[in-house]
Amino acid sequence: MSLLEIEDLSLTIGGARILKGMGISVAPGEIMGLVGESGSGKSMAALTVMRLLPHAARATGRVSFDGIDILAASEDQMCALRGDDIGMVFQEPMTALNPVKTIGEQVAEGIRWHSGATRAEAEDRARKMLDRVGLPEAKFPLSRYPHELSGGQRQRVVIAIACALKPKLLIADEPTTALDVVLQAQILDLLRDLVAENRMGLLLISHDLAVVTEMADRITILRHGEVMEAGDTAPTLSAQLHPYTRQLAQASMHVPARPKTHLADTAAKPLLEVEGVTRDYRGRRISLFRRAPDVRAVDDVSLSMAAGQSVALVGRSGCGKSTLARMVLALDRPSSGAIRFRGETITGRSEAELAPARRDMQVVFQDPYGSFDPRQKVERLIAEPLHVLEKWPTRAERREMVAHALHEVGLDQRDMDKYPHEFSGGQRQRLSIARAIITRPKLVVADEPVSALDVSIRAQILDLFASLNQKLGIAYLFITHDLTVARAITDEVLVMHEGRIVERGKTNDVLDRPQSEAARALVAAAPDLHRAIARRMQEQG
């Protein structure tokens, strides 16, 4: 008997058809993986089960949970179900918790509401639940506030809230997408254990095929609101009978072709040298006269890059890699140490003196939504770096250059008269790249440039990065926590941990035979589709 059974579910929101005859089922104690790219309707399917759809949504079909017809249930019935029998874990642990309530209150809230327990009883159970998810009393008393916790710890609190009443079904919508790989592995382990302990059904929603393969017993692949393929995880993914399944699997393992690889040539003058750079942030003021000790974000880091070389800087979130990138871009000043670009020191220079260096040094950010001013047209946005040219080009020249840059990243030159919101995430990342290459830089610093993108789009963007590296000889400093990205397009890798570089070497050497503790943890935690399928094959036969 299935716990959750969805049949022929169709959903329209204001005329747009989100789901078209979608079906899925989850048995008690089973992990069902729901995979799809953005816009495939997977989150909406989850919200339908919770009946938390936007007002304009109309759902038809059959959704039954534990014998209850969800679509016909009254709001009172749903309130009784939500949080008690069905728990939900959201993607963004930063916004899923109420910032003005303690974690104890937030976990106990649901317990009191659904079971009618007294405050003391509820707090007692909340305490046990927080212990269970790995937040022990000594370090995490109930009186902690969400802002005092890190992202991974917050996600544990969210899981504690969702599982506090031992729900029959847990829905986890991209529970680890906002976390780094090591935290991701820990959270996935926790979810797996909770499912086994309580015989919960888990509906795991993700865009990451590798994560789902490692976790799920069965898998459903969704595209544009329709189920493409469904079945046991291992046979489905190893046979890859459906073309879309194959396409997704290949995109997740995609490695761009790079005939020429540049390895550090010690004889040539390096393009970028970082020497003993340290960055301290002043401690937070804890009282009128006292400050917390300074935080050292980057600690005595040295590195050098040759022209045309592609280097990955990998590490867990908060290890200081983005701070280092900002200092390389001269957007932040090191507390000590020196950074030289093409042999010239760039630390402590004025903006005017930096102009020549800025021409040859550009940046691509992670978030394709946030990196464009929403109120300017593409032409102006992409032409922005031209500002540092010695001679400000005429309007005609500028349009010519923008058109050329758009062409190089595979966009149409007519796109220059549009606003950024008219583009999809992948297209915007192409715009970011166009903006970065318009001045023909020697170095592009890319901060997690593909981690916000769907796998198929990610493969295309990686190809684009690789081809621009080949064609224009641009050197890349790739900042990422995703080892598949590092492996796909970089020659050398630097592993950063707590502000220091703990390991460096050729990408394949480091990732295949990591020496340092930090690198080993990263490699072990990184989801890998090949490995996951192989392991599943053994288990499921």
Partner 1 sequence: MTLRADIPDETFTGILAKAFRNTAFVTGFVITLLILAMAILSYVWTPYDVTRLVIADKTQGPSLAHWFGTDHFGRDILAMIMVGARNSIAVALVAVGIGMGVGVPLGAFAAARGGLVDEALMRVNDLVFAFPALLSAIMITAIFGPGAVNAIIAIGIFNIPVFARVARAGALAIWPREFILAARAAGKSSTQISVEHVLPNIATLLLVQGTIQFALGILAEAGLSYLGLGAQPPMPSWGRMLFDAQTRMVVAPWMAIFPGMAIVVTVLGLNLLGDGIADILDPKSRRQR
> Which residue ranges make up the site for partner 1 (CB under 8 A)?
38-40, 42-43, 91-92, 173-174, 329, 331, 351, 354-355, 358, 361-363, 365-367, 369-376, 384-385, 387-388, 419, 421, 432, 435
Cβ distance to partner 1 smaller for residue 130 or 361: 361
List Cα–Cα distances, 463 to 74, 209, 363, 369, 511, in angstroms: 51, 20, 18, 21, 21
Cβ distance to partner 1 smaller for residue 223 or 258: 223
Cβ distance to partner 1 smaller for residue 79 or 388: 388
Q: Which of 93, 120, 126 is nearest to 108 (CA)?
A: 126
Residue 471, both tokens: 């064609």
Q: Which of 331, 345, 356, 340 is nearest to 439 (CA)?
A: 356
Cβ distance to partner 1 smaller for residue 111 or 212: 212
Q: What amino acid is encoded at 328 in this protein?
A: V
Q: Which of 221, 232, 245 is nearest to 537 (CA)?
A: 232
Cβ distance to partner 1 smaller for residue 207 or 316: 207
Asked if 34 and 45 touch (Cβ cutoff 8 Å), the reply is yes
Phi-psi region of 160 (alpha: psi -120 to 50; beta: other; left: phi over 0): alpha
Angle at 14 between CA 7 and CA 173, to 5 degrees: 55
As measured in angstroms, the least distance from the Cβ of 171 to partner 1 is: 13
Please give the Cα distance from 119 to 131 (Å, whole number): 18
As measured in angstroms, the least distance from the Cβ of 221 to partner 1 is: 15
As measured in angstroms, the least distance from the Cβ of 125 to partner 1 is: 31
Residue with tokens 């329209």: 12
As measured in angstroms, the least distance from the Cβ of 330 to partner 1 is: 8
Cβ distance to partner 1 smaller for residue 375 or 395: 375
Cβ distance to partner 1 smaller for residue 3 or 436: 436
As measured in angstroms, the least distance from the Cβ of 384 to partner 1 is: 5
DSSP H helices, 473-528, are: 483-489, 507-512, 517-525
Asked if 156 and 133 touch (Cβ cutoff 8 Å), the reply is yes
Residue with tokens 């327990």: 117
As measured in angstroms, the least distance from the Cβ of 250 to partner 1 is: 22
Cβ distance to partner 1 smaller for residue 58 or 128: 58
As measured in angstroms, the least distance from the Cβ of 502 to partner 1 is: 27
Measured in degrees and rounded to the nearest 5, phi and psi for residue 382 equal -75, -30
Bridge partner list, 338: 275
As measured in angstroms, the least distance from the Cβ of 362 to partner 1 is: 7
